[in-house]
Amino acid sequence: MMSIYKYMPVFTPDKEVNLLKYIFEDKTLRFSSPLIFNDPFELRPHIKKMVSTDNNIVHKLVFSHLNTTKQAHKFHDTTVTKLSNDIGILCLSGIKDHLVMWGNYADNHKGIVIEFDKEHSFFSPDCKRLNFIHQLKKVVYLEQKISMNSDEWEENERTFLAKSKHWEFEEEYRMTVLLEENDRNPNRFNLEFPSNLIKSVYIGCKAKNETIEYIKNLKVQEQWKHLNIYNMMIDEREYKLNPIKL
């Protein structure tokens, strides 16, 4: 598979911010804090035992927020919450036409899906612009939570990649980065990317005319001439969406 996809609305829920401008004008991608995810089990493996011996940067961040009792529930309720302010996760999917995800993440089909080049150097371990916790990896879907000691928390990628099998339909991929410390500017979650990272844009079947025109007009710009633009159309016979190239 050479492509991965991001489902997104055109506006924030309060309708105040046009997210297309972040993508196509500022050329930034939003790496989200786990605190805003819709799955309450995010970054919450079963901690069997509290251990504090490692000098790993994430591990030090974790224990800098623990009090002397070092109880497992405090690890979750206090530490993970505070640590999440320093973590950004980019969530993508292996599929572009899932009806439920178009409804859930692309504003009831009024938003878009962006197709990224999965082989681009932006996703490579050699990418120097990002402070990786882990590179782009497929989410692991499990029947039960993983179990580990606290000192294994930052070493085990499944801390950031493990989800319940209930979410398996999303075919999710993730990339997790450590954001700049001592900087609480909300915009630090928006990280720059090169324009050739994006291959195509799929416009929702209920998108407004303004959205369609905005995307189509990107093609007049040199940096976006390479874009393939599709409109998702409702199939006449089956429960599926058909991409029609514009």
How high is the mean pLDDT in each 10-residue block of the chain (246 residues)?
92 78 91 84 73 57 48 60 78 96 96 95 75 86 80 68 93 87 62 93 96 94 96 96 95
Say what the pLDDT of residue 33 is.
Answer: 83
Residue carrying structure tokens 């089990």? 41
- The pLDDT assigned to 120 comes to 92
Secondary structure element (H or E) that encloses residue 214, with its range: helix 209-217
Residue located via tokens 């398996």: 168
Per residue in 12-36, is it b (16+ CB within 10 Å) or e — as a string?
eeeeeebbbebbbeebbbbbebbee
Q: Considering the entire predicted model, what is its pTM?
A: 0.84
The pLDDT assigned to 148 comes to 72
3 closest CA partner among 120, 82, 84, 164: 120
d(CA 59, CA 83): 10
Please give the pLDDT value at position 68. Answer: 37
DSSP for 98-147, written as a single string: -HHHHHHHTTTTTSEEEEEETTSGGGSTT-SSS-EEEEEEEPEEESS--E
Q: What does DSSP say about strands 46-47 and 241-245: parallel, antiparallel, or unpaired?
A: unpaired
Secondary structure (3-state) at 93? strand
Look at residue 185 in the predicted model and tell me its pLDDT. Answer: 56
Q: Beta-carbon neighbour count of residue 105 at 10 Å?
A: 19
